[in-house]
Amino acid sequence: MSYNVQPLRTQQEINDFLFCLRRNKNADRDVFLFLIGINSGLRMSDIVKLKKQDLISSKNPRIAEKKTGKTRILYLSSLQDLIQEYTKDLEPEDYLFPSTKGGHVEVNTVYQMFQKVAKLLGRDDIGTHTLRKTFGYHYYKKTKDVSILMEIFGHSSEKITKRYIGINEDEISETLLNFRLGF
């Protein structure tokens, strides 16, 4: 089985995903997790471990990424209202995404939740990296700045970043859309 996780490329795809998440038992938590993911570009392993104190420490808090160990600045100023509302009843040391069994929700639990959403949406290309790729895809489409995105993701080349967010396929398709020779 190939692992072909893709970004949500349109606002409608994002809305459809949110529609499904809002029907979950823990809808508030799951929707907030999704919104943090598509607006930060963090890996799921870093998202699930976030605590209130991680996000309210400043407008641009810093976290240590689990995979790389590097310090990453989060630019979440556009989400401040949502963050304040979601965290208002939490203690600073509380996990943002608690598990019903204690501690924080596990990456595998999020994956299983996303697989249920994928099934409802008739998709086989959804995984936990979908959020990170969605962030990257829309950031690139808006700014066309692959070098900054490459830095955000910690990638070593623009080629890797463009392939990661699926932009190469889109750009090739767009350039060949009305390309015809010999007619």
- pLDDT, one tens digit per residue, over 1-44 is 446 899 999 999 999 999 999 999 999 999 999 999 999 999 99
Q: How far apart are CA 156 and CA 28, in angstroms?
A: 36
The tokens describing 81, both together, are 């209202």
Which spans in 9-106 are helix H? 11-21, 27-40, 44-47, 52-56, 80-87
Q: Which amino acid is at 28?
A: D
Label residue 52 by pLDDT band (50, 70, 90).
very high
Question: What SS3 state is found at 43?
Answer: coil
Cross-strand bridge partners of residue 62: 73
pLDDT computed for residue 1 by the predictor? 43
Quick one: 155 exposed, middle or buried, by C-beta within 10 A (0-12, 13-18, 19+)?
middle
The domains of the chain are located at 11-178
Phi, psi (rounded to 5 degrees) for 72: -125, 130
Q: Is the dihedral of CA 154, 159, 36, 39 positive or negative?
A: positive
What are the pLDDT digits (tens) for 74-119? 999 899 999 999 999 999 999 999 998 999 999 999 999 999 999 9
**Coil, strand or helix at 156:** coil
Question: CA–CA separation, 3 vs 6, rounded Å?
Answer: 10
Whole-number pLDDT of residue 3: 65
Tokens describing residue 14: 């994002």
Name, of 92-96, 144-148, 169-173, the range with top average pLDDT.
92-96
* Spatial separation of the C-alpha atoms in residues 104 and 32, rounded to whole Å: 14
Query: Which is the CATH superfamily of the domain at 11-178?
Result: Intergrase catalytic core (1.10.443.10)
Residue that wins the pLDDT comparison between 2 and 59? 59
DSSP β-bridge partners for residue 95: 51
Structure tokens at 42: 């963090």
Contact assessment for residue 69 and residue 78, using Cβ atoms and an 8 Å cutoff:
no
Alpha-carbon distance of 119 to 160, in angstroms, equals 29
Residues annotated catalytic, as ranges: 43, 67, 129, 132, 155, 164
Q: Does the reported pTM lie above 0.85? A: yes
